[in-house]
Amino acid sequence: MITLAGSRPNIALPVPQSLEEVRLPESLVTDLVLRRLLLEGFSTLQSLSRSLRLSTAVIHQVFTQLRSQQLVEVKGMIGNDYRFTLSHAGKELATDRFQISQYAGAAPVSLEDYHTVIRAQAAKIRLDRKALRSALSDLVVTDSLLDQLGPALISQTSIFIYGPSGNGKTSIAERMLRVYQDAVLIPYAVEVDHQIISVYDPVVHHKLEIEDPDTDPRWVLCRRPCIVVGGELVPSMVELRLDETSGIYAAPLQMKANNGIFIIDDFGRQLMSPRDLLNRWIVPLDRRVDYLTLRYGVKFQIPFELMVVFSTNLDPYDLADEAFLRRIRNKIYVGPVDPASFDRIFERVAASKRIPAEPGSAEQLRRLAEARGQKELRACYPLDIVNIIITISEYEGRPPAINRAELERAAELYFAKGDPAAEGRRGWMAE
């Protein structure tokens, strides 16, 4: 049994000791063993158990059946374990099965078990301003913004973060994962109608190196996932994708993000139109279930147990109609920073880069920005300007320093020249 921290329930997933307890079609488990044997050549019960993430009792049960059908040949013993290989008939059968699907990894879990575990792991967090400020301690965030984020995070429903670019919307969204203090179980794969859907992805799922011999090894203990997509998002990423070569389906991004966060950054600038995505997810966001379809038309339901965060610098009403925006309960505006916050950000940047700064440097940068037509202060200015100062010093072969002259040189490079009046008229919705 794995006990998840905080308010998480205890999830008992005992190791299946028989084919019946695996809760998968027997033919699918048999095919997995045949394909694995075809790849390995010679194997043992222990080796197959490790590769397929099934108990030796289950592997022995399948081995006994294959042996009675003369599909495997025992070549000897290694301690108390058999050493065996496929017979000629077994190789022919395994080759046929390999043509249908090449999957020979961890055994999947049933769709019903997937529903049960994902629902049981739905996030329930306790949060107050102090805890949230600690989670965002590396950012300069006002109390008023914290007091909007807090209730939104507790609700675990979708969030729409909007406002001018460069003020930390993405940084805030990516740090939301810090409010979770627990771990979740993610399956290697899920079986649907004898098809295998690969779910666990080491690129987006961060496995915890904790082995529990009493827990079904087909599940991986991970941190709650956080998937971030930007302009590269296309319709195929939110649907099942079949690899024609291997015969395996890849889970869509929202399925991989279950029990975690799915951030759509720069919403409205994707290859997939905002309305197409919103229409695709209007039911999942409302009812917390999604529907996927296998290539041959079989449709099935999966949990949509995740928090979707839309981050954009476009006007929300240009992206979605009122009916959809109503389903996104939390809408948080992240505006330009005030002078005091701007100065704190500048001081943090200078300290983190370990660059000496003349007194009043932050104020000087504010004046330079205003002189170049920037009527609003952006949180990104300090880091961007300091990085330019560093590159100038590298070019000239000297240590970097923050002073009036260096700030003016960096500002000249950073701020685009144009009609100051036009710059002044430019609002966040026009960007």
The predicted model scores a pTM of 0.87
Instruction: Decide which of 106, 127, 151 is a domain's last residue.
Output: 106
Is the same domain home to 128 and 267? yes
Predicted pLDDT of residue 12: 82
CATH number at residue 205: 3.40.50.300
Residue 74 lies in a domain: yes
pLDDT tens profile 215-245: 999 999 999 999 999 988 999 999 999 998 8
**What span, in angstroms and rounded, lies between the C-alpha atoms of 60 and 68?**
12
Query: So what's the pLDDT on residue 11?
Result: 78
In a domain, 157, yes or no: yes
Which of 130-144, 279-293, 408-422 is the least confident region?
A: 408-422
Assign 424 a pLDDT band (cuts: 50, 70, 90). very low
Residues 74, 152, single domain; the answer is: no
Name the domain count of the chain: 3
Domain hosting 175: range is: 119-333
pLDDT tens digit string along 299-317?
A: 999 999 999 999 999 888 8
Is residue 364 a part of any domain in this protein? yes
- 381 and 296 inside one domain: no
What is the CA 293 to chain-centroid distance, rounded?
A: 22
Q: Confirm whether 6 is domain-assigned.
A: no
Q: Where are the alpha helices (DSSP H) in 397-426?
A: 404-414, 420-425
Higher pLDDT residue, 421 or 368? 368
**Is 233 found in the same domain as 173?**
yes
Strand 307-312 with 261-264, pairing:
parallel
Residues 350 and 311 in one domain: no
Residues 270 and 293 in one domain: yes
Residue 402 has pLDDT above 90, yes or no: yes
| Domain-ending residue, one of 287, 304, 333 | 333
Q: What is the pLDDT of residue 138?
A: 92
Q: In this predicted structure, what is the pLDDT of residue 312? A: 92
Calculate Rg over the CA atoms of the chain.
Answer: 27
Q: Are residues 186 and 311 in the same domain?
A: yes
Residue range 196-218, pLDDT digits in tens: 999 999 999 999 988 888 999 99
Q: Tell me the pLDDT tens digit for each residue of 341-357.
A: 999 999 999 999 999 99
Please check whether residues 404 and 385 belong to one and the same domain: yes
Is 3 part of any domain? no
Is residue 112 one of the residues assigned to a domain?
no
* Distinct helix (H) and strand (E) counts, the chain: 18, 19
pLDDT tens, residue by residue, 324-336: 888 888 999 999 9
Q: Where are the beta strands (DSSP E) in 193-250?
A: 195-198, 219-223, 226-229, 241-243, 248-250
Cα–Cα nearest to 372, from 403, 321, 407, 402 = 407
pLDDT at site 7: 35
Mean pLDDT of the chain: 91
Mean per-residue pLDDT for 386-415?
96
Q: What is the domain-level CATH number for residue 357?
A: 1.10.8.60
Q: 404-418 pLDDT, tens per residue?
A: 999 999 999 999 876
Residue 263 clears pLDDT 70, i.e. is over it: yes
Are residues 375 and 314 part of one domain? no
Q: Domain holding 86: CATH number?
A: 1.10.10.10
Kindly state the tokens that stand for 79: 């301690």
Provide the 8-state DSSP code for 145: H
User: In sequence order, what are the residues at sequence separation of 6 or more whose Cβ sits closer than 8 angstroms to the Cβ of residue 375?
Assistant: 423, 424
Digit-coded pLDDT (tens) for 63-91:
999 999 999 999 999 999 999 999 999 99
pLDDT class of 292 with cuts at 50, 70, 90 = very high
Last residue of a domain, one of 298, 333, 368: 333
Same domain, 175 and 295: yes
Collect all residues with Cβ–Cβ distance below 8 Å to 427 and sequence separation of at least 6: none
The pLDDT score that the predictor gives to residue 412 is 94
CA–CA distances in Å: residue 7 to residues 211, 225, 288: 22, 18, 21
Helix (H) or strand (E) holding 84: strand 81-86
Q: Is 411 a member of any domain? A: yes
| pLDDT score at 283 | 87
pLDDT at 425 over 50: no
Residue 234 and residue 271 in one domain? yes
Is residue 52 a part of any domain in this protein?
A: yes
pLDDT at residue 39 is higher than 80: yes
Q: How confident is the model at residue 9 (pLDDT cuts 50, 70, 90)?
A: very low
* Cross-strand partners of 333: 162
Q: Are residues 295 and 424 in the same domain?
A: no
Q: According to the model, what pLDDT value does residue 418 have? A: 61
Would you state the pLDDT for residue 6? Answer: 40
